Amino acid sequence: MRTSYKIANNIDWVTIGLYGLMVTLGWMNIYAAVYNPENVTSIFDFTLNSGKQLAWIGTSVIIIIMLFAIDYKAYDSLAYGIYWFVILILLGTLLLASPIKGSRSWLVITESVRLQPAEFAKFATALAVSRFMSGINLRQQNWKDQAKLAGLALLPPIIIILQNETGSALVFAAFTLAFFREGMSPLILIIGAVAVFVFVLTLLIPQWYLAGIVTVLMGAYLWLNFHRIKRYLPTYISIWAAVLVMVFSVTYFIDNILQEHQQNRIKVLVDPEVDPLGVGWNVTQSKIAIGSGGFFGKGFLEGTQTKFDFVPEQSTDFIFCTVGEEHGWIGSLIIVALFMALLIRIIYVAERQRSVFGRTYGYCVASIIFFHFLVNVGMTIGLAPVVGIPLPFFSYGGSSLWSFTILLFILLAIDAHRKLDLGRG
């Protein structure tokens, strides 16, 4: 009997515990980031980011209760409705919003309360692709379905790029991980990895040299093993051609398509001198802040580098610096471990779903959170380009916290009803 079904017994309290822990730690670090030793204010002061974040956390709790109260089947049946609704809002923002720092992506509600609809496109797209996935079989190579799926996943980032929020758009690449679990060819992931590898190489080696090296290596390999592999010669030639195309198109892309400040964010990875007044400075300051934390850190509120504005955006995109400086490597370890635990728990939860919809959605959640973690922490330690995307549950910001909360708790709401999901899947 449905009425006697106790949701509370089936809610995944482990995930909720991890969520609570991360949000609380995030809140404390935001306070540390805006803390001014000369003018001490309370962590609850609403004029500071920490006070506002507490308000965002409070409203998140209300959102969570609402998400559990909604009929769990609605997420499945309303998936497309939500998706198209968010697309409409994205388009509306693109056309109507006045630009803030060059990006048309903010809905201004009041002077200090602004929402970024791009954040909400993530869970909406996750719902839509999961719904679509439950109706098809990716492995059956039906190109029409595959094209529709790609369209669903690509439409939001295209609009977001037009809003000039390239960072948020990149996140949608994370869906490939979820597609991979549902049967997408591993070749695509491998090509992606090779592309990233080639990308980094082109930053280090001029394109003609790189092309020469690839050609010589390939030529030598073919020469030495000619008898063994001559049957596959066309395959090898096409691999060689593909790599060359990649090398030249990457250089072309960086030099001709990206805007100058975007080029610098990438080039600064290998050469901080590229933009010593801009991003180069940010990355250097961020590394100094984290590096000065040592093994145990300087202690809560004792940081010096993440105060004021040595590090830019310290309570939003660069919040990890505060952790690194005040809590040292141990603090970093705890944060990384928390993320790993959450991601693996989400996969566990996803795998126990009986519906393809639920499982795919679970993987989407894990992939999105993972991508944010990858880029955000990576940029603060100089391993990823400086892309302005938040660290889930830690960074200051209502749009970001709400969207990650919704993303995660829709999964938990579906999961809590998994045992009712007999005939589906």
Partner 1 sequence: MKYLESRKYVIQAIFIAIGAVYLIKLFYIQVLDDSYKTAAESNAMRRVVQYPFRGLVYDRHGKLLVENTPVYDLMVVPKEAKAIDTLKFCQLVGISLPEYREKITAAKKYSYVKPSPFLQRLTNAEFAAIQDNLVDFPGFYINARTVRGYQHGSLAHALGYIGEISPRQLEDTTYHGYRQGDYLGISGLERQYEQFLMGKRGVKYTMVNVRGIEKGSFKNGEYDTLSVAGKNLVTTIDLELQKYAELLMSGGKVGSIVAIEPKTGEILSLVSAPYFDPSLLTGKELGNNYMKLLRDPTKPLFNRPLMATYPPGSIFKLAQALIAMQEGVLTPETGYPCNWSLVKCSHRHPYPANLGIAIEQSCNPYFYQVFRSVVARGRSRNVYEDVRLGLDEWNKHIKSFGFAGNLDIDLPGEKKGMMPNARFYDRIYKRDGWKFPTIYSVSIGQGETGVTPLQMANFAATIANRGYYYKPHIVRSVGENGKPLPEYSVKNYTSVDPRHFPPVIDGMQLVVENGTGRYASLKHIGVVLCGKTGTVQNPHGKDHSVFIAFAPKDDPKIAIAVYVENAGGGATAAAPMASLMIEKYLTDTVKTTYRKRWEADMINGSFYKWTD
Q: Which residues bind partner 1 (CB under 8 A)?
A: 101-102, 139, 177, 180-183, 186, 259-261, 272-273, 275-278, 280-281, 284, 287-295, 304-305, 308-310, 324, 328-329, 332-333, 336-337, 339-340, 343-344, 347, 351, 363, 366, 370, 373-374, 377-378, 381, 383
Question: Nearer to partner 1 by C-beta: 203 or 274?
Answer: 274
Q: Which amino acid is at 35?
A: Y
Helix axes 207-224, 186-204, angle to 10 degrees: 130
**For the residues of 286-311, what is the DSSP string, one character each?**
HHHHHHTTTTT-S-TT--SSSSTTSS
Minimum CB distance to partner 1, residue 2 (Å):
28
Across 310-395, where does the E strand assignment appear?
A: none
Element (H, E) at 404: helix 398-416
Dist. CA 12–CA 329, nearest whole Å: 30
Minimum CB distance to partner 1, residue 132 (Å):
17
Question: Nearer to partner 1 by C-beta: 280 or 388?
Answer: 280
Dist. CA 123–CA 408, nearest whole Å: 9
Minimum CB distance to partner 1, residue 174 (Å):
11
Minimum CB distance to partner 1, residue 347 (Å):
6
Dist. CA 105–CA 114, nearest whole Å: 10
Question: Nearer to partner 1 by C-beta: 60 or 360?
Answer: 360
Question: Nearer to partner 1 by C-beta: 115 or 377?
Answer: 377
Minimum CB distance to partner 1, residue 203 (Å):
18
Residues belonging to the chain: 425
Minimum CB distance to partner 1, residue 175 (Å):
13
Dist. CA 112–CA 47, nearest whole Å: 10
Question: Nearer to partner 1 by C-beta: 20 or 312?
Answer: 312
First to last CA, the chain: 20
- Conformational region of residue 310, where left means phi above 0, alpha means psi within -120 to 50, and beta covers everything else: alpha
417: Cβ–Cβ under 8 A, 6 or more apart, which residues? 5, 7, 10, 72
Nearest to 28 by CA among 40, 41, 18, 43: 43
Minimum CB distance to partner 1, residue 378 (Å):
7
CA distances from 295 to 30, 168, 369 (A): 21, 33, 27
Minimum CB distance to partner 1, residue 190 (Å):
11
